[in-house]
């Protein structure tokens, strides 16, 4: 099987919106990646979150959103792993399952600043490249020096800044506001038909 360089974009995607898709597709087209896998993070059974769609519904929405784009794939790899999901464990499982591929992490600048708190973060930084996209147009000192870790395999990418949040989309739907420009038509239609996020 052909070796691929695959970007992993983790998220709850509750729901997946155009901001997620713009970032994922930018990385796929501009950062020497063969594919970007959108990895749906499962709901932690110990931390029931109101307003969180089931794992299967969120996976289906991701598949709807990326339909027709061969660069993007939906991944449910974490659904069968112990909870809570730790990225280092997910990467180990992916490495065993797909030894021919190399996996690259895609994350926002805010996550990079806190990566030193992740389980076995040194192992992640030693074995995987990181592609980091900006979260804000305003750059402060903290953004200039994001984290106190080895930045050798970290690349800061000039991806579009997306100030769109799933939280705000859910709130807008709950308040009967229009969100059709924030979601793909297929996702917007399914969310509406299923009456998701409404009180």
Average pLDDT over residues 189-194: 96
Res 22: pLDDT: 97
Calculate the average pLDDT of the chain. 91
Strands across the sheet with 130-133, in order? 72-75, 35-40, 5-11, 102-108, 130-133, 154-156
Res 68: pLDDT: 97
Q: Would residue 181 count as lying in a domain?
A: no
Q: Would residue 12 count as lying in a domain?
A: yes
Res 49: pLDDT: 67
CATH number of 18's domain: 3.40.50.620
Rounded CA-CA distance 47/43 in Å is: 8
Q: Would residue 176 count as lying in a domain?
A: no
pLDDT in tens, 96-127: 999 999 999 999 999 998 999 999 999 999 99
pLDDT in tens, 150-162: 889 999 999 999 8
Q: State the residue range of the domain holding 112.
A: 5-163
Number of structural domains in the chain? 1
Res 138: pLDDT: 54
Tell me the percentage of the chain whose pLDDT exceeds 90.
81
Q: Would residue 133 count as lying in a domain?
A: yes
Residue 139 pLDDT greater than 50, yes or no: no
Residues 130 and 155 sit within 8 Å (Cβ to Cβ): yes
Q: Would residue 173 count as lying in a domain?
A: no
pLDDT band at 40 (very low <50, low <70, confident <90, very high): very high
Res 144: pLDDT: 52
End-to-end Cα separation, the chain, in angstroms? 48
pTM for the model = 0.93
Average pLDDT over residues 13-37: 98
Res 46: pLDDT: 57
Q: Would residue 170 count as lying in a domain?
A: no
Q: Would residue 18 count as lying in a domain?
A: yes
Residue 79 pLDDT greater than 90, yes or no: yes
Least confident segment among 37-41, 67-71, 118-122, 138-142: 138-142
Average pLDDT over residues 19-25: 98
User: Which residue, chain included where needed, has tokens 């804000």?
Assistant: 136
Residue 143 pLDDT greater than 70, yes or no: no
Residue 130 pLDDT greater than 50, yes or no: yes
Two tokens, residue 13: 């995607």
Q: Would residue 66 count as lying in a domain?
A: yes
């Amino acid at each position: 099987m052909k070796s691929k360089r695959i970007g992993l974009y983790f998220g709850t995607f509750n729901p997946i919106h155009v901001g997620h898709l713009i970032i994922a597709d930018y990385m796929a087209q501009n950062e020497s990646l063969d594919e970007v896998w959108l990895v749906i993070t499962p709901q932690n059974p110990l931390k029931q979150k109101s307003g969180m769609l089931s794992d299967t519904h969120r996976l289906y929405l991701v598949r709807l959103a990326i339909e027709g784009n061969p660069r993007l794939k939906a991944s449910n790899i974490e659904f069968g792993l112990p909870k809570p999901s730790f990225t280092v464990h997910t990467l180990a499982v992916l490495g065993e399952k797909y030894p021919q591929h190399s996996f690259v992490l895609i994350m926002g600048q805010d996550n990079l600043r806190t990566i030193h708190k992740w389980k076995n973060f040194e192992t992640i930084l030693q074995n995987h490249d990181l592609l980091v996209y900006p979260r804000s147009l305003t750059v402060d000192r903290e953004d200039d020096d994001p984290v106190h870790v080895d930045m050798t395999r970290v690349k800061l990418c000039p991806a579009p800044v997306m100030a769109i949040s799933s939280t705000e989309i859910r709130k807008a739907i709950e308040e009967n506001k229009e969100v059709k420009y924030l979601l793909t038509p297929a996702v917007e239609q399914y969310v509406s038909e299923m009456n998701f996020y409404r009180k």
